[in-house]
Chains A and B, each alone.
Chain A
């Protein structure tokens, strides 16, 4: 077996040193009734060629998003990732190292984490960011729990235009903790009134921008209302390219920003692994979940990096920890960091402008299709259209023609007739005019 270096002779010699007659003797603490004698009912080992062939065949039974026109968004976006990103993250020293528990031989990981924290803080307009969460929805749930700890209150208001998976994840993760969630009704207008839902027990209001339907929100006034009532504002961002075009959440009153970093450097990966972004104000840092990398010096006084404030974390605080998270999304944070480093200020702003321009062109084109109406007044690179017929069926029909038209809202929010005809459509720098034409033509056909 190509991954196992021990030879039969090695095994025999090692057993002799141990003083065991057979390797099975080493397993004697397992109750005899539970020991497996033979092999389990699974195929035996295979060479690289055979495995690669089988897995490639499986991959071929999928249609990659990039194989034709694709306008899917809804919390995951297809962007061009510079080749340097994947090259760099495959370096052994990044790919095959563990969590940087021994800082003297982990300065590479620690430095990229420090840079990632800085990038996320800059992008969100916040003072500090952590070294990553699993992904956006769990990061949002963590933000709600953090707000509960900070305010010692037990209510949270979730916007009706928060990504439905995020809403459901927050509900799941808080359901046994005595938290009262006020789930605002689905809102596609971008004009919901969340301030009126704040009570004396509201720990936080959670609002997404660009929201699930694509609408943009100025959260400044809502932040003021939250703060006057002693509550915190949690702002969720699922499309980080938007940071290049839009006012930062930190400049619109956010206390905690939770988000998804997938768009930058990570790729679609059928939904995971992704990278959760988490940023807040400095004075809240001791209630933050997740790892933090800090600056320090070594014994010779040279600048160095180290994991810090770990008294918040499970390995020290156990049941009193701010979170149970341990393994996070280190390598995806690296991908994000490299992509952002390559883009830089000018590149990210240009990328964001390209995305917005593509979406505006597409919206104008689709609005002209009979039976199709663009719902949004504002948007960044994704918007909602209302079709004359159920969106799910339209999407299936167009998929058969090779066009991934978008995300039917009913896939995430089923059983609401008012939403059945709504389709989320995203456009990024990867979408060509020809692809947009194909979508417009396709929609003309299916709504006719």
Chain B
């Protein structure tokens, strides 16, 4: 049986098996009609491709059917609540998509003359203004492509500031609960990572910081609200301690959604903070990106911001693309062109839709919803820390103790109930962490239904219904996948069947 026939045999209702493009494409067919190229004298200098690429040929209907079919094997926020903690899976408004596709934004070349892109520069400048106002910080760097890239931007500015002051500082303090991108980023800037333990309340004590401070400390990377879903209540003391020691305060702003319009990082002593537009400001995650991670800077770090800058002059908006003028002390360029414009237009559309009043309501509803989950579930599941929480409710594996059911099993059983699991096993400092973020875009009915399902599952777990969990998921297109096998013998691409294998069929 050919691969394709085997796949077709396995259709079940609306679950349609779909092979890889490479399993059924044939050369000689194309889904794009193009004219015959005019004959010209080649200027390829003898470098013409002679070997086939190996790409399959497909007509448009085949391609559409292929991608529509595989799309159906995905969970999405459009389909249901997506409680991934730290990821802020909120509703993605479609107006944002429409605006981003206006030819006046989408069909602009990044190197067009400034006279032809005044509206685009205005959009970037306006978004930066909103971000400055929401963070209470004077300058926002727009180039970073995502949160981790923003972290790099922030730490490079810190390093540049120390270098400019002739200071050789080598250590960055990072709480043990931090996201993996924080230590990875510090390492990319040549810093040694010094982990800070949290206290019994899930926060960082200023005393723990003071113990670690010294003339070799470049700064701290603190997530606030932190990765346990809690606000670092001593943040101002922490900022003061760092500043007194000559260091800078980098804030991981992944959780800005909880405080937008309620508090400003600039008032908390922050020197740099990245803002994930793909979290707080609703640009869609697209199966893992793209995102955007603009960074707000304090006065102290502002001169080192990356290029290019968008500035407003007497006769319109201008790009500063080289180390000159306001960009003279910049640490440099960290990508090609200017930034994630497609994300900027979406985020700006979102902000204008919500306005100052709506954004404040966003934070309030996100925090309210998380606390509602925490309060409703803390006795059925188990919560390592008391509330109030910010926009994430953290549970742990204590309630599963002695059941023989792991957090992973529990997560997979949620899938059988129609839910994407929360973020599990992060942060690493909590055993069997289950970080649950409902966001502000769920109705109360939706939250209540989610609560009812989790209660039912917790009861089943405690009642010893082990198989229901270990065998989960059972109702999905694919049952539990073997991750170990994938890593042991990595198959990372399709390869053509060997002639031997074909003959054996």
Most buried by B among A13, A26, A298, A359: A26
Q: Which residues of A contact B186 (CB under 8 A)?
A: 319
Q: Counting CB contacts under 8 A, is A40 at the interface?
A: yes
Minimum Cβ distance to chain B for residue A112 (Å): 6
Indicate which residue in B109, B122, B123, B444 contacts A72 across the interface (CB closer than 8 Å).
Answer: B109
Residue contact A343 to B331, C-beta cutoff 8 Å: no
A429–B71 alpha-carbon span in the complex (Å): 31
Minimum Cβ distance to chain B for residue A258 (Å): 12
Residue contact A247 to B367, C-beta cutoff 8 Å: no
Q: A331-B286, A344-B27 are in contact. Are A268 and B356 (CB under 8 A)?
A: no
Q: Counting CB contacts under 8 A, is A326 at the interface?
A: yes
Q: List 11 A-B contacts (CB under 8 A).
A: A31-B235, A65-B108, A72-B112, A97-B286, A108-B71, A247-B48, A270-B338, A319-B186, A327-B146, A356-B37, A399-B115
Indicate which residue in A100, A246, A270, A342 contacts B288 across the interface (CB closer than 8 Å).
Answer: A100
Q: A172-B156, A338-B63 are in contact. Are A4 and B30 (CB under 8 A)?
A: no
Q: Counting CB contacts under 8 A, is B14 at the interface?
A: no
Q: Which residues of B contact A347 (CB under 8 A)?
A: 30-32, 34, 57
Residue contact B103 to A318, C-beta cutoff 8 Å: no
A75–B336 alpha-carbon span in the complex (Å): 8
Indicate which residue in B29, B79, B259, B335 contacts A30 across the interface (CB closer than 8 Å).
Answer: B259
Residue contact A334 to B287, C-beta cutoff 8 Å: yes
Residue contact B29 to A344, C-beta cutoff 8 Å: yes
A86–B54 alpha-carbon span in the complex (Å): 25
Q: Which residues of A contact B452 (CB under 8 A)?
A: none
Q: Counting CB contacts under 8 A, is B473 at the interface?
A: yes
Minimum Cβ distance to chain A for residue B413 (Å): 11
Q: Counting CB contacts under 8 A, is B461 at the interface?
A: no
Q: Counting CB contacts under 8 A, is A248 at the interface?
A: yes
Residue contact B50 to A292, C-beta cutoff 8 Å: no
Q: Counting CB contacts under 8 A, is B241 at the interface?
A: no
A395–B115 alpha-carbon span in the complex (Å): 11
A43–B376 alpha-carbon span in the complex (Å): 36
Most buried by A among B74, B362, B440: B74
Most buried by A among B190, B289, B482: B289
Residue contact A92 to B481, C-beta cutoff 8 Å: no
Residue contact A293 to B71, C-beta cutoff 8 Å: no
Q: A26-B368, A33-B236, A97-B77 are in contact. Are A166 and B34 (CB under 8 A)?
A: no
Most buried by B among A109, A136, A334: A109
Minimum Cβ distance to chain A for residue B22 (Å): 6
A313–B285 alpha-carbon span in the complex (Å): 19
Q: Counting CB contacts under 8 A, is A44 at the interface?
A: yes
Indicate which residue in A98, A267, A359 contacts B89 across the interface (CB closer than 8 Å).
Answer: A98
Minimum Cβ distance to chain B for residue A185 (Å): 18
Question: Could you list 11 further interchain pairs (A-B, Cβ under 8 angstroms) beyond the known A134-B145, A296-B491?
Answer: A59-B103, A95-B286, A97-B287, A103-B481, A118-B493, A128-B492, A294-B486, A295-B491, A298-B482, A345-B27, A354-B35
Q: A74-B111, A321-B180, A324-B151 are in contact. Are A61 and B119 (CB under 8 A)?
A: yes
User: In this complex, what residue of A is CB-closest to B91?
Assistant: A3
Interface locus among B207-215, B243-251, B262-270, B398-406: B262-270
